[in-house]
């Protein structure tokens, strides 16, 4: 039996002074939590040098920024062409200019319609105040149906929904404060107009609202999941250990780990996000697992008649090595999230890794100090629990030859179903159906198509190059090609505007609805039109100041990441053949999310490989056995295979959060294996036969393994209650893998050890003895 380090002995012999140092440490470090702030904008998911983010930001620097708030006006009559709806749209359009940081408001009301009157070009709003007569409504309807820039973009093609879209100029850097302010003002307008026009529903969508939804999701999780976790953990520990004192002592350790972790994060200059807001839940769960091992062993030794101090000492002797190993391996798993292409997932890994190591330190020092100081009574020895696990060990030893082939079938089947999984990141569907943003997205998807868009920019690299008829022909060709694609619902293109102007300047003759024939004519039309536009409705969102680049916006279905990137590649390839002398770039927030999932999965492959190497090497060194190290490697891979196999049956959709689960859980699932193998190795060194060593291991560590797995499953299961899909899916898959790890460690691992270590000469006799016992 190993000896306790001197500092651990000092904690047990000087508990009051140790506790005082602990309180001082917590007080100093926890104050850093006041430095934490929250960022809810979608850009926290992307590194500053992310190619898609850079392309999008470059595009925004050339054209007007495209962050927006969209009001979906949905009449209950399913018809926007009526008097009260026109009045609502007109008034809402005027009020929307009051949105903070708004630079442009677009709707069917203020759409700049052009037509010829004698030799003049008339530019006018489609709906002015008081223009709600039947004849005017019919005229607007006819204009909308003949205007591609409006039909399907500002009014749905079936006429059941209209949109008032506000373009927002958000500042660079942390936008959380501005986003919340804008979203709150938008909701006040939504409430105002729903009260004034009760026959209408209004929904809010747009990138600003999605940013706010990220913040709301994180806030809801922090307010509900963490308190729920504290309640569940307290009840579970009290029930499983049958000790209120043990439960309260564990809560002290848990709360301290969280406070110090968040305090250190604050001092390090980190911020909270939809990912890192879950750090307290994860640290809490992992800290409890360490405490459970110490408490269960302590109570087992106390029931054998040992004094409290002696029982604590023995508990630390048998648990220090496995707890340190499992803590380090768990920390390694989380640190591998630094390979993630998503910065906030790397922050999640670093913060949780710190929390795990703090939990290791506190559970081996402060927890015994608390248990030593507080009065507590341990009931007399109860044989039921140990005999239950002893019978389980007997059962596995007798049937190991059946368990192994069944395990092989399960693994092969899991690998087969794991092939059903595919990357599929749809940012707007990260939110649960209870989210008002998700509800708005569903309405928009049903009536207008998806909220996803790709902005294509054609660069001519020549001043006034966009007025060149050859360039305009290519713009028109790309516009037509995009409109023909089944995924596309609407295309906003400068070529449509030029066609309309050409028709207007030729007495509205439909035969002239085509592009101007020469550059000079196109330039004149464009200049005349721009001079007639009111403030905030210029063409800077479609063409740059030098008239050298033009932007085409395609609105698509809410596609999965693979489909989205495939569409982008298809468009690029088609245009490269059409116009090899022109440069085409594509960017948008949905495109950024579509790419990040694949990039994250690729980067995490190396993180997972490194985690496997480091964890296996650490176990080999700690157990001083190549054979047991390799056994642990096999045992740790099987739960992951089972987990992703089950996920392939249940869902099959892998988002950016699930792409890091394997690396993250690799360290967690090692816990059970290390505790099992360390006890098994100890029994073998005591001279026990293989089957005796397996039964001894079941008896000494079985209850702790089941207890910690139950706590871990409950902890990560709390994440499943989140309305934010990245969190709920990560929680669900982690629970599946953790439960699979327990089953593998209690069935496959001992059966494999029986086959690997069995003394052939005594195998038959031992099996006969076991049968006689049963």
Are 620 and 742 within one domain? yes
Sign, CA torsion 605/610/616/618 = negative
* Contact between residue 626 and residue 697 where contact means Cβ atoms under 8 Å apart: no
Are 750 and 630 within one domain? yes
Are 192 and 336 within one domain? no
Are 652 and 733 within one domain? yes
What pLDDT is attached to residue 264?
95
Residue 57 belongs to a domain:
no
Tell me the average pLDDT across 696-719. 84
Q: No. of H helices and E strands in the chain? A: 24, 12
Are 187 and 219 within one domain? no
Nearest-CA neighbor of 46 among 491, 599, 763, 619?
599
Residue 58 belongs to a domain:
no
Q: Which range marks the domain in which residue 317 is found?
A: 6-40+212-428+593-773
Residue 199 belongs to a domain:
yes
Domain boundary among 205, 221, 242: 205
* Contact between residue 347 and residue 46 where contact means Cβ atoms under 8 Å apart: no
Are 344 and 371 within one domain? yes
What pLDDT is attached to residue 769?
43
Are 250 and 343 within one domain? yes
Sign, CA torsion 352/358/364/368 = negative
Residue 143 exposed, middle or buried by CB count within 10 Å (0-12, 13-18, 19+): middle
Domain boundary among 183, 205, 227: 205
Are 530 and 639 within one domain? no
- Pick the range with the lowest mean pLDDT from 142-151, 255-264, 658-667: 658-667
The percent of residues in the chain predicted with pLDDT above 90, rounded, is 40
What are the start-end ranges of the H helices in 651-724? 661-685, 690-719
pLDDT in tens, 46-83: 988 899 999 888 888 888 777 899 999 999 999 999 99
Are 116 and 132 within one domain? yes
Residue 774 has pLDDT above 60, yes or no: no
Residue 611 belongs to a domain:
yes
Are 393 and 250 within one domain? yes
533 CB-near residues (< 8 Å, 6+ apart): 112, 123, 539
Residue 170 belongs to a domain:
yes
pLDDT in tens, 129-145: 888 899 999 999 999 99
CATH number at residue 405: 1.20.1640.10
Three-class SS string for 170-239? CCCCCCHHHHHHHHHHHHHHHHHHHHHCCCEEEEEECHHHHHHHHHHHHHHHHHHHHHHHHHHHHHHHHH
Tell me the average pLDDT across 358-385. 77
Residue 757 belongs to a domain:
yes
Are 409 and 471 within one domain? no
Dist. CA 667–CA 608, nearest whole Å:
10
CA 214 to chain centroid, in Å, comes to 10
Are 402 and 539 within one domain? no
State the average pLDDT for the chain. 86
Residue 85 has pLDDT above 90, yes or no: yes
pLDDT in tens, 155-180: 999 999 999 999 998 887 778 889 99
Q: Buried b vs exposed e over 286-298: b needs ≥16 C-beta within 10 Å?
A: bbbbbbbbbbbbb
pLDDT in tens, 445-482: 999 887 788 999 999 989 989 999 999 999 999 999 99
Number of structural domains found in the chain: 3
639 CB-near residues (< 8 Å, 6+ apart): 665, 669, 737, 738, 740, 741, 744
Sign, CA torsion 713/719/720/725 = negative
Residue 227 belongs to a domain:
yes
Q: Buried b vs exposed e over 717-740: b needs ≥16 C-beta within 10 Å?
A: bbbbebbbbbbbbbbbbbbbbbbb
Neighbours of 559 (CB within 10 A): 19
* Contact between residue 294 and residue 319 where contact means Cβ atoms under 8 Å apart: yes
Domain boundary among 567, 587, 607: 587
Dist. CA 598–CA 55, nearest whole Å:
18
Residue 439 belongs to a domain:
no
């Amino acid at each position: 039996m190993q000896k306790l380090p001197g500092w651990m002995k000092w904690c047990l012999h000087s508990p009051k002074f140790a506790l005082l140092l602990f309180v001082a440490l917590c007080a100093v470090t926890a104050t850093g939590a006041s430095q934490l702030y929250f960022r809810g904008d979608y850009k926290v998911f992307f590194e500053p040098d992310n190619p898609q983010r850079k392309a999008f930001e470059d595009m925004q620097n050339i054209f007007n920024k495209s962050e927006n708030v969209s009001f979906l006006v949905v009449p209950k009559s399913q018809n926007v062409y009526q008097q009260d709806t026109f009045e609502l749209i007109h008034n809402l359009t005027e009020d929307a200019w009051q949105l903070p940081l708004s630079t442009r408001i677009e709707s069917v009301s203020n759409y700049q319609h052009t037509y010829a009157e004698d030799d003049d070009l008339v530019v006018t709003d489609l709906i002015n105040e008081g223009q709600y007569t039947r004849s005017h409504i019919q005229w607007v309807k006819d204009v909308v149906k003949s205007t591609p820039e409006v039909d399907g973009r500002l009014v749905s093609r079936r006429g059941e929904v209209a949109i008032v879209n506000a373009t927002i100029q958000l500042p660079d850097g942390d936008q959380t404060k501005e986003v919340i302010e804008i979203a709150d003002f938008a909701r006040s307008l939504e409430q105002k107009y729903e009260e004034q026009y009760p026959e209408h529903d209004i929904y809010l969508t747009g990138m600003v609202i999605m940013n706010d939804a990220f913040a709301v999701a994180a806030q809801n999780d922090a307010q509900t999941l963490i308190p729920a976790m504290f309640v569940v953990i307290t009840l579970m520990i009290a029930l499983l250990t049958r000790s209120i004192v043990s439960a309260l002592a564990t809560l002290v350790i848990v709360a301290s780990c969280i406070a110090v972790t968040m305090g250190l994060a604050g001092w390090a200059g980190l911020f909270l996000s939809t990912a890192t807001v879950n750090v307290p839940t994860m640290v809490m769960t992992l800290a409890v697992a360490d405490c459970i091992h110490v408490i269960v062993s302590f109570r087992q030794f106390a029931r054998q008649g040992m004094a409290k101090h002696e029982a604590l000492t023995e508990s630390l002797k048998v648990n220090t090595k496995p707890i340190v190993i499992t803590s380090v391996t768990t920390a390694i798993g989380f640190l591998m999230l630094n390979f993630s292409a998503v910065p906030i997932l790397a922050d999640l890994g670093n913060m949780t890794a710190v929390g795990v190591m703090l939990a290791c330190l506190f559970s081996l020092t402060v927890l015994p100090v608390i248990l030593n100081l507080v009065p507590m009574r341990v009931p007399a020895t109860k044989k039921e629990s140990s005999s239950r696990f002893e019978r389980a060990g007997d059962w596995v030893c007798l049937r190991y030859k059946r368990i192994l082939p069944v395990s092989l079938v399960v693994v092969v089947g899991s690998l087969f179903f794991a092939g059903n999984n595919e990357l599929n990141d749809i940012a707007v569907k990260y939110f649960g159906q209870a989210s008002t943003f998700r509800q708005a997205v569903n309405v928009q998807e049903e009536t207008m198509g998806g909220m996803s868009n790709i902005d294509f920019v054609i660069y001519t690299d020549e001043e006034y190059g966009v007025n060149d008829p050859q360039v305009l022909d290519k713009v028109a060709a790309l516009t037509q090609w995009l409109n023909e694609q089944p995924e596309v619902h609407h295309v906003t293109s400068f070529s449509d505007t030029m066609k309309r102007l050409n028709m207007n300047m030729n007495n509205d003759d439909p035969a002239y609805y085509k592009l101007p024939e020469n550059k000079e004519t196109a330039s004149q039309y464009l200049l005349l039109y721009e001079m007639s536009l009111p403030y905030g409705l210029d063409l800077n969102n479609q063409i740059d100041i030098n008239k050298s680049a033009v932007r085409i916006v395609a609105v698509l279905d809410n596609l999965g990441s693979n489909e989205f990137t495939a569409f982008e590649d298809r468009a690029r390839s088609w245009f490269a053949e059409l116009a090899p002398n022109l440069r085409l770039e594509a960017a948008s927030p949905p495109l950024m999310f579509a790419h990040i999932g694949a990039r994250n999965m690729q980067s995490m492959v190396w993180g997972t490989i490194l985690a496997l190497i480091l964890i296996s090497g650490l176990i080999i060194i700690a157990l001083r056995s190549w054979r047991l190290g390799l056994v642990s490697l096999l045992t740790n891979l099987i739960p992951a295979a089972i987990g992703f196999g089950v996920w392939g049956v249940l869902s099959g959709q892998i988002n950016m959060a699930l792409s890091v689960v394997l690396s993250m859980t690799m360290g967690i699932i090692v816990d059970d294996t290390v505790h099992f193998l360390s006890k098994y190795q100890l029994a073998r060194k005591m001279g026990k036969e293989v089957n005796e060593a397996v039964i001894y291991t079941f008896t000494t560590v079985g209850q702790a393994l089941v207890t910690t797995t139950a706590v871990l499953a409950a902890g990560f299961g709390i994440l499943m209650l989140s309305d934010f899909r990245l969190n709920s899916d990560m929680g669900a898959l982690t629970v599946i893998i953790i439960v699979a790890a327990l089953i593998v460690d209690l069935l496959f691992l001992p059966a494999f050890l029986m086959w690997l270590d069995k003394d052939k000469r005594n195998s038959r006799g031992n099996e006969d003895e076991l049968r006689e016992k049963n």
